[in-house]
Structure 1
């Protein structure tokens, strides 16, 4: 079990705790403490949550791509850096708001194990690069290369996926959030293809997307096309019902294929 301190910036406070509290519970975390304030810049929600370590990435990803979240910071309890001015001590939730928390004994340390895919991304480096991606979008390839060079090889692909999801979710909120929910095929045609064409030359055949001459996937070097998969998942996930999209990578130019090919599904 881990305890995380999470600080969220949103445009308004109404319903914010309810919506993000649902995300916390969905990922098998318990909300221990919370503080919700508002100033001229928007609403600020601080939470202390406890849950399984293996669900940490999933929780942070869902929070980072949530439509109510403008920005957020998450770290192990005691390590978080505030998004704005330091927040006062967060009061413990009353019993009327949540079940009482039973203190658990500290777990015995587990022996190290070899990492297995998927590997947790370097969230701090991704968070560092996101403002630069937004500032220079769609001319983002130099920043993606910088991200690749700033993280360990073991987390390079997972970091690209997270950066893609966060960027895609940001583009959706900026350009497409006012539209109605679509079927997957319509979302690909009306949102996915036009948005992706700003980043790369592509071909679309139904649920299959080919990236032609990807700058991230030069033959004979490491593949970077996981960014595109994450981008499409973040971009399309909020536009379809149910709100979940998966991208499967079929081939990559860096491995000798003619192009990078992906398949999109619910």
Structure 2
């Protein structure tokens, strides 16, 4: 039996007419139901808050379609908390008018780093397919990697990983307690990584010998598991209570290491 989740979406648009109808079409296509909505008109357009319910497996695809919709300027998506204040802003800050990527704002730092070098159209088209096939995603990501210029690979794959990691946190871990770093590594990062491949905890680091990105080759002198780094960053940063977590790969089989090892920094 599929799991249903309640999600609160906050959408900024410069169009008022037909907005709810257009958003409703995306929700229906992804089998989400609109439970309630609030709207505030502003000088810049409209801010709309929707509470929706639908299959957890369809969440990333729905968020991607909304976040890239031509009527949507920005999208925030969070688990619905019925105890949270229901107010929506009377005006939209100028910064909110710039398009942002779905599914959430936790990947904003990775997005800003990758923006100048990654193929946005290709990445945004790939993410719904990753959501559909998850956790069997390595074939898709490796296909993306092979089509990238060398200068694009680290930033693009790390960005894609952060988007997927943030989605996995919201899908599987968002209802848990806000944990300190050690607990987050043990109870979020490790089980999230194990959804993709075998992994072990070593003190406060994670290691794996199963990374499909760690292929030795001529001229490879740096770690290659950029997607996994981004995935772990996205999974830990989505909670918002640890500061800005960064993951470094201190050992990689691509450069002769016995395993790929990931260390966490704040």
- The TM-score normalised by the length of structure 1 is 0.60
- Please list every run of 5 or more consecutive structure 2 residues that lacks an aligned counterpart in the other structure: 1-5, 28-33, 45-59, 73-89, 95-112
Quick one: distance in 2 between partners of 1:212 and 1:198?
15
Higher helix share: 2
The equivalent residue for 1:131 is 128
Q: SS at 2:247's partner residue?
A: strand
Q: Which runs of 5+ in 1 are unaligned?
A: 1-9, 21-31, 50-66, 75-81, 89-95, 101-116
Is 1:152 matched up with 2:153? no
Q: Spell out the pairing of 1:68-107 with structure 2 (5 A cutoff).
A: 70-71=63-64, 83=69, 87=71, 97=91
* Deviation digits for residues 104-144 of structure 1 (CA, Å, limit 9, x no counterpart): xxxxxxxxxxxxx9763222222121111111111111101
Would the alpha carbon gap of residues 256 and 179 (structure 1) be closer, same or farther in structure 2, given more than 3 Å must change? same
- How many pairs are equivalent? 191
Secondary structure of 2:264 counterpart: strand
The change in CA–CA distance for 1:98 and 1:235 in structure 2 (over 3 A counts) is closer
Where 1:201 maps in the other structure, the secondary structure is coil
- Decide whether the 8 Å contact of 1:125 with 1:150 is kept in 2: no
The one-character-per-residue Cα deviations of 1:78-129 (angstroms, maximum 9, x if unpaired) are: xxxx62xx649xxxxxxx94789xxxxxxxxxxxxxxxx9763222222121
Decide whether the 8 Å contact of 1:230 with 1:247 is kept in 2: yes
Deviation above 6 Å: which 4+ runs of structure 1?
Answer: none
| 8 Å CA contact retained: 1:169, 1:234 | yes
CA distance in 2, matches of 1:87, 1:203: 44
Q: Alpha carbons of 1:249 and 1:98: their partners in 2 closer, same or farther (altered >3 Å)? A: same
> How far 1:238 sits from its partner (Å)?
2.1
